[in-house]
Amino acid sequence: MKTNNNRALWNLTRGQRGRFTLAAATLVIGSAGMFVGPQIIRFAIDGILDKTKTLGSLPHWITGVLAFLDAANHPRRALIFAGLAVFAASVLAGIFMYLKGRWSAQASESIARSLRVRLYDHLQHLPAAYHDKAPTGDQVQRCTSDVDTVRMLYASQAIEIARAITLLGIAIPLMFWMDWKLSLVAIAVLPIIVTFSIYFFGRVRGSFKKMDDAEGAMTATLQENLTGIRVVRAFARQEFECNRFSEKNVAHRDLNDRLYRVMALYWSTSDFMVFAQGALVLFVGAWRVANGNLTLGTLVAFMAYMHLYLWPVREMGRTLTELGKATVAIGRIQEILDVPPEADIAQPKADLPARISGDIRIDGVSLAYGEANVLNDIRLHVPSGQTLAIVGPSGSGKSTLMQLLLRLLDYEHGRIELDGMEIRDLPRKYVRGQFGVVMQEPFLYSKSLRENIRLGRHEAAETEVVEGATIACVHESIEGFDKKYDTIVGERGVTLSGGQRQRVAIARAILRDAPILILDDALSAVDTHTESLILDALKRRRGQHTTIVIAHRLSTLMHADQSAVLEQGRVTQLGTHAELAERDGLYKQLWQIQTALEEDLSRELSNNNNGNSTSDPDAELVSQK
């Protein structure tokens, strides 16, 4: 259910409303202190300049102080006292404003932190389909820039709104108390400024959404380019990518330009109204002082109060602007939070074993994307400890089937059971905890090799890390690095070769020691010799895990207990390697093609070696040695 943006902003203050209340209270006290100084100056000026008539109209405590200081004969004393009093009031106001800033900053930072954690946690639990469609750069911007925009609203603008209300609530009554006629002149422009500010806010509000979306598109383009920078260089597409980024950049600049033109018009117009208002009040006030209807001290205090409330009113446009940005930002954040997380089982029907035996049964499973059927009536059984190989052309549904097993996707018809328990009746975390997975494109973090391998099991001992790396045939490569297992692999493992990345991912899955091991085309970047070493190591562990291997190279699948051929989302063949290699069908065709290619390659290598030995006797001698 979608949440109103203003309500969402209010809901975020839960848990911090006490701090905001304290900040507001200190703001009121500190703002009130600002009004003490002008009154002291007013009474000091009037007491010094008017020795007879005005003293009778002053408050009794003021006349008492002036009499004590003998201000009529010693005006310097009154001025020093007034200066000290104004200084003391300013210090107290400053202390309260410091407390206001401290509490509002603590509250806003806590809100931003909680919002980031909430967003990050929510993103972890969104369906895979959401992440397939959402641009990464745009998601990053929503979790960083948009959250910071919301933080700034609470840190400064929300307090500014409270400050403006406080100043208006104190200044206007004081001004009417001092001279109601001049006050009518002073507030004449107030409705005009407020109306103009609201109109301005309405004009620019829609621009903030466009600007944020344009910035998100620009960030997504930048993130995508940096992630694939090697591909860009390999295809010499730097100029094309620069032009693509420039288009996004220009679109963002143009939106900003249009917005700031409107804002410049607002600031210049509001400044004119504020200065014109001040000039008008000064003219009328001076005229009333000259006619004896107003004291000079009252006019000085009046002008001070007028500026105290006019500047916050002028800043209303800025406040409304920031409010508009924050409203758009929280709307973009809320778009993520409104996406329902993966449906899950809160409480399993019965106590679950910490570790299953690994028996897998797939019974009549089907899945469709829209009107396109991806999987049709899949039926497979993998007994505990056995190995199932899956082969098929690209797009036949192999990886989709693996995503169903991991509950990254949910099937529509049929059943998938682990040890007789349907996985839809089990918590997703529990299901995924029973698998060790090597994805088609292994992902490594920009951390050390040790940390990447330990991702499978954080508490694993060093000997276990080395054992996993040894089984994956990557230990020797790691030992060849200067920092060995402490080597930082770079973002996405860019400092490693494709084969090394795959072997580190295999080591990670082996270290996890889960009941079921899935290798999704995990040996495609590994040479045949290393592949055979890894497969031999896995054979020695046969019986410890149920293994599912997806591969295009059939030599990878020969050791499997059974092999399944997927074509257009259906299991068209099932049997051992020996059976399928003799049976007419796709498996036999692929086996014959790959066998013929290997034979041709062997003959070519043999001919090259013979040719080299004939032409180079020294090479033959070295070879014999």
Same domain as 254, residue 129: yes
What mean pLDDT do residues 35-54 have?
Answer: 67
With cut-offs at 50, 70 and 90, classify the pLDDT of residue 623. very low
Closest among 172, 169, 160, 166 to 197, alpha carbons compared: 160
CA distance 77 to 82: 9
* pLDDT score of 401 more than 50: yes
Q: Which of 283, 304, 337 is the last residue of a domain?
A: 337
What mean pLDDT do residues 115-133 have?
Answer: 85
Domain containing 68 equals 9-337
Q: Residue 305: inside a domain, yes or no?
A: yes
Count the Cβ atoms, other than its own, within 10 Å of residue 90: 14
What are the structure tokens assigned to 579, written together? 């059976």
* pLDDT score of 77 more than 70: no
Same domain as 364, residue 332: no
CA distance 271 to 41: 27
pLDDT at position 381, please? 93
* pLDDT score of 118 more than 50: yes
Closest among 432, 429, 440, 609 to 519, alpha carbons compared: 440
> Largest Cα–Cα distance of the chain, in whole Å?
129
Stronger pLDDT, 108 or 528, i.e. the higher one: 108
Closest among 205, 204, 208 to 216, alpha carbons compared: 208
Which of 45-54, 219-228, 510-519, 579-588 is predicted with the least confidence, judged by mean pLDDT?
45-54
* pLDDT score of 331 more than 90: no
With cut-offs at 50, 70 and 90, classify the pLDDT of residue 603. low
Same domain as 510, residue 377: yes
pLDDT at position 361, please? 92
pLDDT at position 190, please? 78
Stronger pLDDT, 145 or 233, i.e. the higher one: 145
Closest among 480, 446, 484, 481 to 465, alpha carbons compared: 484
* pLDDT score of 278 more than 90: no
Same domain as 398, residue 255: no
Same domain as 325, residue 365: no
Same domain as 565, residue 449: yes
Closest among 402, 454, 458 to 432, alpha carbons compared: 402
Q: Residue 600: inside a domain, yes or no?
A: no
Same domain as 208, residue 157: yes
Element housing 361 (H / E): strand 360-369
CA distance 558 to 563: 9
Average pLDDT value for the chain: 79
pLDDT 10s digits, 162-189: 777 777 888 888 888 888 888 888 888 7
* pLDDT score of 215 more than 70: yes
CA distance 169 to 164: 8
Phi, psi of 365 (to 5 degrees): -80, 135
What are the CA-CA distances from residue 109 to residues 162, 335, 590 (Å)? 19, 22, 61
Percent above pLDDT 70 for the chain: 85
Q: Residue 46: inside a domain, yes or no?
A: yes
With cut-offs at 50, 70 and 90, classify the pLDDT of residue 610. low
With cut-offs at 50, 70 and 90, classify the pLDDT of residue 479. confident
Q: Which of 246-250, 322-326, 598-602 has the highest mean pLDDT?
A: 246-250
Same domain as 366, residue 333: no
pLDDT at position 56, please? 43
* pLDDT score of 591 more than 90: no
What mean pLDDT do residues 251-263 have?
Answer: 81
- Computed from CA positions of residues 353, 358, 362, 368, in that sequence, does the dihedral angle turn out positive or negative? positive
Give Cβ neighbours of residue 176 (< 8 Å, ≥ 6 apart). 183
HSE-up (13 A, CA, CB side) for residue 333: 29
Q: Residue 168: inside a domain, yes or no?
A: yes
pLDDT at position 310, please? 75
CATH code (residue 216): 1.20.1560.10
C-alpha angle 165-169-174 in degrees, rounded to nearest 5: 145
pLDDT 10s digits, 517-548: 888 877 776 777 777 777 777 777 777 888 88
Q: Residue 373: inside a domain, yes or no?
A: yes
User: Which amino acid, one-letter code, is at 625?
Assistant: K
Phi, psi of 524 (to 5 degrees): -65, -30
* pLDDT score of 320 more than 80: no
Name the DSSP class of 341. Answer: P
Percent above pLDDT 90 for the chain: 3
CA distance 12 to 19: 13
pTM: 0.69
Stronger pLDDT, 539 or 339, i.e. the higher one: 339
pLDDT at position 61, please? 57
How many domains is the chain built from? Answer: 2
pLDDT at position 51, please? 52
CA distance 375 to 393: 14
pLDDT at position 620, please? 36
Sheet holding 360-369, edge to edge: 372-382, 360-369, 413-418, 421-422
CATH code (residue 377): 3.40.50.300
Where does residue 388 rank: exposed (0-12), middle (13-18), buried (19+ CB within 10 A)? buried
What are the CA-CA distances from residue 569 to residues 455, 475, 491, 548 (Å)? 33, 38, 35, 17
Q: Residue 552: inside a domain, yes or no?
A: yes
pLDDT at position 73, please? 64
Which of 31-45, 54-68, 154-168, 208-222 is predicted with the least confidence, judged by mean pLDDT?
54-68
CA distance 8 to 512: 41
pLDDT 10s digits, 431-443: 888 998 888 778 8
Same domain as 477, residue 410: yes
Stronger pLDDT, 69 or 391, i.e. the higher one: 391
* pLDDT score of 614 more than 50: no
Same domain as 169, residue 25: yes
Same domain as 260, residue 408: no
3-state SS, residue 375: strand
pLDDT at position 151, please? 86
Q: Which long-range contacts (CB under 8 A, 24 or more apart) does 565-569 make?
A: 565/391, 565/392, 566/390, 566/391, 566/392, 566/396, 566/397, 566/398, 566/401, 567/392, 567/393, 567/396, 568/376, 568/396, 568/397, 569/373, 569/374, 569/375, 569/376, 569/378, 569/396, 569/397
Q: Residue 603: inside a domain, yes or no?
A: no
Same domain as 520, residue 419: yes
* pLDDT score of 303 more than 60: yes
Q: Residue 153: inside a domain, yes or no?
A: yes
Q: Which of 70-84, 192-206, 322-336 has the highest mean pLDDT?
A: 322-336
